[in-house]
Structure 1
Amino acid sequence: MAQVLEFKLPDLGEGLTEAEIVRWLVEVGEVVAVDQPVVEVETAKAMVEVPCPYGGVVTARFGEEGSELPVGAPLLTVAVGEQAAPGGPERDPGTGGAEAARAETTKAAATGAEQPKAEGSGNVLVGYGTSEAPARRRRVRPVRPEPAAPQAGAAANGRPVRTAEPEGPVPVISPLVRRLARQNDVDLRELTGSGPDGLILRADVEYALRAATARGGRTAVQPGVADQGPSAPRAGSPVSSAPRPGGIRTPLKGVRGAVADKLSRSRREIPDATCWVDADATELMRARTAMNASGGPRISLVALLARICTAALARFPELNSTVDTQAREVVQLDHVHLGFAAQTDRGLVVPVVRDAHARDAEGLTAEFARLTEAARAGRLTPGELTGGTFTLNNYGVFGVDGSTPIINHPEAAMLGVGRIVPKPWVYEGELAVRQVVQLSLTFDHRVCDGGTAGGFLRYVADCVEQPAVLLRTL
């Protein structure tokens, strides 16, 4: 006899208490294997695929795409056992199917029926599954009836109705962009992507929304809120006589919400100060060119800067600290887990290179490349986004010279690096054109005074100007 098992949203780790459903990977009535990813969710740390520890037929799904679920809430139900077959009755994915699935689970528990033993361990490890990863099954989509052809010139919501649906998915950079288009009734097939090979970016969707507003068409709605017309207030919301300002509204949730909370907390709790210095990076650039000309793996500039940072932290360990506010203690850490700021389509994230002090320039280059690729693809795990002890921020890639970074709470310091550009410089007593960079250090004044911070920054500048200085610390 088939039994219906309920799979709840697992604890995704790192203190996360909720997640937003980005995209369902299975349909009701579809057969799933043990550890097959069933849903893609976005947390405050990353976007991950959640594998199901049971194998069988999906009987119900809980939550629509774009909705948030707390950890421990029902995610879906799976019928397991000998009678669970893909040809069985398909349940409605809405409330009726969910209630029926719950009723079957309750009935099985009340009659004392033995629950089938799942082949997986039952401990959902996001990104890893619960056992040896099986071959991912081909998705079986239910056959949908063909829509009736609309009348010529017919329109819905002020937009033309498509008379034909081209086959194949529209190339979109991420599910978040696809969801933004869906929630604001933007037809992706009518857009021309500005990305590589016509890839549709978030900027393309936002441009279409602005253009529709300028034409007097449909006003962009808040994501996750149904368009109820100009006079229909949201359920449960107080009616206000003041008109809401126009424009595109983006909720501060997910990664952007987490970043906003962390930056606000940093400004609120940390008494920070910033010092900066200009440095001649000509010799550092020459050293990198010589290293890459040797025929081995190419070394990135950020890896050399990271190597300089770890050497400087060994000399000034006060900056590799955190403040325990409850115990009123400064905790000096014995490992350097180096974070680096990475700009992605989903917002600013800070991946962490574990044990950066134990890696050479080649190892740092490889790890930076791996984490950067994962960040842009939205595959970073919560563990790869937390636990940093010091952050390197290379804002020079945006073409700016300087900045005053905000410390990545609960760390104690961040080193900022501007662009490296040719500038007039006094070199060996004569005016010359040199490759100059501005370095800035924002630090928590509770962990050290200006003398320590200045010494750290001066040592970094000395290594940039004369890379041989670094050899004395190796």
Structure 2
Amino acid sequence: MGIKVFKLPDLGEGLTESEIVSWHVAEGDAVQLNQILGEVETAKAVVELPSPFTGVVRTLHEGPGTTVSVGEPIVSIEVEEPGQEDGGKASGEPASQRQPNLVGYGAAAERNGRPARRPRRTAAAAGATAVPTAVAETVPQRARAAEHNGIAGTPVPGQTQDVPQLMPAAPVAERPRSTPPVRKLAKDLGVDLAQVVGTGDRGLITRGDVQNFHDAGSAAPVEAPAPGTGGGWLAGAAEAETRIPVKGVRKLTAAAMVASAFTAPHASSFLTIDATASMELIRRLKEHKAFAGLKLTPLTITAKAVCLALGRHPELNARWDESAGEIVQQNYVNLGIAAATPRGLTVPNIKGAHRLDLRRLAEALGELAETARAGKTAPSDLRGGTISITNIGVFGIDAGTPILNPGESAILAVGAVRRQPWEYRGDVALREVVTLSLSFDHRVVDGAQAGRFLADVGTILSEPAMVLAMV
């Protein structure tokens, strides 16, 4: 018998941590290879974790709601055959049969053949001089070569001038925990991370911590309300403030929106149209047997109109490639649909939307919305979008200036459909009116190109029969 430790695997997408949502097993339960142990939530989706071992669960290292970094232990399982250390093969058992399949992520829980990081030697190592670990970490790399050869603290011949004398000293402060984007932001703002107090999980320094520290340098301190004094206007609020941790989808969305807003020069155009003909078409289609059981909305018709208009204006279905100095026009449409979910805003996309007829497009929209609300959107469905639509009309909003989904050059916001007076055939009548708001990347799309595209979408929604004259 032996204990195998299952560490949080690299789930890909550049994500370094995940939050444990739930466990499907308890300590003492017998588990089989690839049996689902539980679910973790990345910044993009909820992912099931299959067991990399067959055995008995001995320890669940973290509970639900805990954020765990990649490589940290999450489950210890007692197995029948000890095998090698974590990450190695069990004796006589091929690695290809032991790896769990994290579909869509690529990286498996165990990586055979991956070099293992050499553990630091400590004062308890055989033959080593008693030296605090913190001091050993300050030794230049050439001195570490000697330590690797089993003579810790012995300088390499000819390089003694680079090696400080190893002697007991006060522990050196641990390097502040942060991510590469945060460290870059700190460097750009001239902020010393050693002076920043991290508010993230286990003291992780976030972008907000760095920005707040920088802003505090030029702003007078604000006295916080005394704890327990109340003062909140919200009914039943015991405190004047409520702090909500920024993590998961909201954290990723915030970073993506900041990157988009300060990278792509946004421009916006608006068009208000009479969509009565489209609304009448929706009512007729709902009664048609070919569309029985399908949810048809203004979003459905708009999605089809966008795909048709892109055939005439492919320049909006493009992206800016900074490294190559090129504009890349995509000859396919992966239509992103902004979805408000309990986990936050996500923008899954319908692959090959340009090939779908209206019925199949309606089916795809229904499946996309259901999957997003359940938090089961696959990471592959969140990648590769070429243009997006956000339906702000469901919230009663008429118009807005949406921010581009990173990597795309256009996003269309569909406002609420309202009955209001409108000029119709030389008279004034109550018509069903909607406003379309288009944001676009002005590096990729000129105002005239955006205007013609938006006009075509408006024409299709105003008079669906005009499609016959456009294709």
Q: TM-score range by the shorter chain?
A: 0.5 to 0.7
Letter in 2 for 1:347: G
Asked if residue 71 in structure 1 is aligned to residue 70 in structure 2, the reply is yes
Out of 358, 382, 386, the residue aligned to residue 383 of structure 2 is 386
Stretches of structure 2 that go unaligned for 5 or more consecutive residues are 109-198, 204-220, 226-239
Deviation at 1:281, TM superposition (A): 0.4
2:68 and 2:91 map into 1 onto residues whose CA distance is: 29
Counterpart in 1 of 2:281? 287
SS in 2 for 1:327: coil
Counterpart in 2 of 1:174? none
Structure with the greater relative contact order (CA < 8 A, sep ≥ 6): 1 or 2? 1
2:425 and 2:33 map into 1 onto residues whose CA distance is: 69
Deviation at 1:358, TM superposition (A): 0.7
Q: Is the 8 A contact 2:84 2:90 kept in 1?
A: no
Out of 303, 310, 315, the residue aligned to residue 307 of structure 2 is 310
The within-5 A match list for 1:115-194 is: 116=93, 120-126=97-103
Q: Is the 8 A contact 1:49 1:126 kept in 2?
A: no
1:129 and 1:278 map into 2 onto residues whose CA distance is: 46
Q: Is the 8 A contact 1:121 1:130 kept in 2?
A: no
1:355 and 1:347 map into 2 onto residues whose CA distance is: 25
Counterpart in 2 of 1:369? 366
Change (3 A) 1:29 1:130: farther
* Deviation larger for 243-252 or 448-457: 243-252
Counterpart in 2 of 1:150? none
Deviation at 1:125, TM superposition (A): 1.6
1:107 and 1:428 map into 2 onto residues whose CA distance is: 80
Change (3 A) 1:329 1:249: same
Q: Is the 8 A contact 1:336 1:389 kept in 2?
A: yes
Letter in 1 for 2:250: R
Counterpart in 1 of 2:422? 425
Change (3 A) 1:76 1:473: farther
1:420 and 1:467 map into 2 onto residues whose CA distance is: 16
Q: Is the 8 A contact 2:104 2:380 kept in 1?
A: no
Out of 379, 395, 399, the residue aligned to residue 398 of structure 1 is 395
Please tell me whether Structure 1 or Structure 2 has the larger radius of gyration of its CA atoms.
Answer: 2
1:346 and 1:223 map into 2 onto residues whose CA distance is: 18
1:66 and 1:128 map into 2 onto residues whose CA distance is: 22
SS in 2 for 1:269: coil
Deviation at 1:62, TM superposition (A): 2.9
1:223 and 1:250 map into 2 onto residues whose CA distance is: 11
Counterpart in 2 of 1:256? 250
Counterpart in 2 of 1:114? 91
1:447 and 1:469 map into 2 onto residues whose CA distance is: 28
Deviation at 1:63, TM superposition (A): 2.8
2:94 and 2:360 map into 1 onto residues whose CA distance is: 44
Q: Is the 8 A contact 1:313 1:456 kept in 2?
A: yes
Change (3 A) 1:251 1:308: same
Counterpart in 2 of 1:10? 9
Asked if residue 341 in structure 1 is aligned to residue 338 in structure 2, the reply is yes
Change (3 A) 1:274 1:130: closer
SS in 1 for 2:458: helix
Change (3 A) 1:113 1:16: closer
Q: Is the 8 A contact 2:16 2:70 kept in 1?
A: yes
1:51 and 1:462 map into 2 onto residues whose CA distance is: 51
Q: Is the 8 A contact 1:22 1:66 kept in 2?
A: yes
Counterpart in 2 of 1:36? 35
1:120-140: CA deviation from partner (whole Å, max 9, x where unpaired): 551422489999xxxxxxxxx
Change (3 A) 1:435 1:33: same
Change (3 A) 1:23 1:224: farther
Change (3 A) 1:117 1:430: same
Letter in 2 for 1:20: E
TM-score under structure 1 length normalisation = 0.67
Deviation at 1:252, TM superposition (A): 1.5
2:381 and 2:469 map into 1 onto residues whose CA distance is: 31
* Deviation larger for 33-42 or 11-20: 11-20
Q: Is the 8 A contact 1:402 1:440 kept in 2?
A: yes
Q: Is the 8 A contact 2:422 2:428 kept in 1?
A: yes
2:90 and 2:258 map into 1 onto residues whose CA distance is: 52
1:318-374: CA deviation from partner (whole Å, max 9, x where unpaired): 111111112221111111101111111111111111111011111111111111111
Letter in 2 for 1:397: V
Counterpart in 2 of 1:270? 264
Deviation at 1:386, TM superposition (A): 2.0
Q: Is the 8 A contact 1:122 1:130 kept in 2?
A: no
SS in 1 for 2:21: strand
SS in 1 for 2:251: helix
Q: Is the 8 A contact 1:3 1:116 kept in 2?
A: no
TM-score under structure 2 length normalisation = 0.68
Equivalent residues, number? 347
Change (3 A) 1:282 1:9: same
Stretches of structure 1 that go unaligned for 5 or more consecutive residues are 83-103, 132-221, 227-240
SS in 2 for 1:378: coil
1:242-274: CA deviation from partner (whole Å, max 9, x where unpaired): 765542211221100011111111111010100
Q: Is the 8 A contact 1:282 1:434 kept in 2?
A: yes
2:469 and 2:52 map into 1 onto residues whose CA distance is: 53
Counterpart in 2 of 1:169? none
Change (3 A) 1:108 1:431: closer
Q: Is the 8 A contact 2:8 2:69 kept in 1?
A: yes
1:101-130: CA deviation from partner (whole Å, max 9, x where unpaired): xxx7767999x9826568955142248999
1:428 and 1:109 map into 2 onto residues whose CA distance is: 74
Q: Is the 8 A contact 1:38 1:51 kept in 2?
A: yes
Q: Percent of pairs identical after alignment?
A: 41
The within-5 A match list for 1:316-327 is: 316-327=313-324
